Chain A
């Protein structure tokens, strides 16, 4: 995180050269900073840890065997994120083709204005609470309940902190679509973090108070 970008890119270019020259160990060094990114993208699409790990491994193998074709005109991280995204989507399509959401169904959600609920006693959730396993799970649940259209944009932009441009490249959608989906995703997530909704995101599940206040 703290390595300045130009330096990082030079470093990566050198690593890639070494790998292409046959130095296998350098590949791990190249990949290491992006392990979490690969995992986060994978799990945000396939939703369960075992599948996400499989996707991650497939993505890594694919990245390795295609490394010679990486030209360096895109950032390595974007290239890797795109490979991971494609692998995850493929896995999803293979596993449950009948559940694969149609474009039409997704499109419907994007029409019309959304009115955020007014929560009288809103108080922010401090980041330190992410140390608490239950809070983390509650938040991950909330993300998982978003439709995939929203979840994907949210994970790339707000979890991986990729730029709008990088996100358009990976998802193959327009900048306007990225902004619209991100907007809706953030507001929906904000609603689900509100008091009274804690642990209550899955219909029929018993209410569980997670917030400590």
Chain B
């Protein structure tokens, strides 16, 4: 069975859902067929995946020095 081709524009629209595995198997297959043939869309996918990976890294949002301690103090002061 051959997959029906989709355009770059259609692929871009679904990149985020593709990363989240929120697509029907059929659409996912068509996306994958497209990626294997289109360097631009593959670059968009890789770049987006890279951005998502950096965001999810615990090192990105660092709490200010002493944040935890001050929060604890606040709780201690509760009536």
Report how many A-B pairs have Cβ atoms within 8 Å: 120
CB pair B22–A179 under 8 Å, yes or no, is yes
Tell which of A23-31, A79-87, A88-96, A102-110 binds the partner: A23-31
**In whole Å, how far is A34's beta carbon from the nearest beta carbon of chain B?**
11
- Count of B interface residues, CB-CB < 8 Å: 39
B37 at the binding interface (Cβ < 8 Å): no
Q: Enumerate chain A residues within 8 angstroms of B58, measured Cβ to Cβ.
A: 36
Bound CA span A31–B20, Å:
29
SS class, residues of chain B in contact with chain A = helix
Of the candidates B12, B40, B59, B76, which one forms a contact with A131 in the assembled complex, judged by CB atoms under 8 Å apart? B59
**In whole Å, how far is A80's beta carbon from the nearest beta carbon of chain B?**
13
- Count of A interface residues, CB-CB < 8 Å: 47
Q: Enumerate chain B residues within 8 angstroms of A198, measured Cβ to Cβ.
A: none
Bound CA span A136–B55, Å:
10
Bound CA span A136–B54, Å:
9
B50 at the binding interface (Cβ < 8 Å): yes
* CB closest residue in chain A, given B50: A124
Bound CA span A158–B51, Å:
9
CB pair A124–B43 under 8 Å, yes or no, is no
Q: Enumerate chain A residues within 8 angstroms of B61, measured Cβ to Cβ.
A: 36, 39-40, 43, 140, 159
* CB closest residue in chain B, given A43: B61
CB pair B43–A161 under 8 Å, yes or no, is no
B3 at the binding interface (Cβ < 8 Å): no
CB pair B60–A136 under 8 Å, yes or no, is yes
Tell which of A3-11, A49-57, A70-78, A202-210 binds the partner: A49-57
**In whole Å, how far is A152's beta carbon from the nearest beta carbon of chain B?**
13
Bound CA span A131–B56, Å:
14
Interface, chain B (partner A; CB < 8 A):
9, 12-13, 15-17, 19-20, 22, 40, 43-44, 46-48, 50-64, 67-68, 70-72, 74-76, 78
Can you list 28 contacts pairing A with B, beta carbon distance less than 8 Å?
Answer: A35-B67, A35-B71, A39-B67, A53-B64, A53-B70, A56-B67, A57-B70, A57-B74, A60-B75, A61-B74, A61-B78, A116-B47, A122-B43, A127-B59, A136-B59, A140-B60, A164-B20, A183-B16, A183-B17, A186-B15, A186-B48, A187-B15, A187-B16, A190-B44, A190-B50, A193-B50, A193-B54, A194-B47
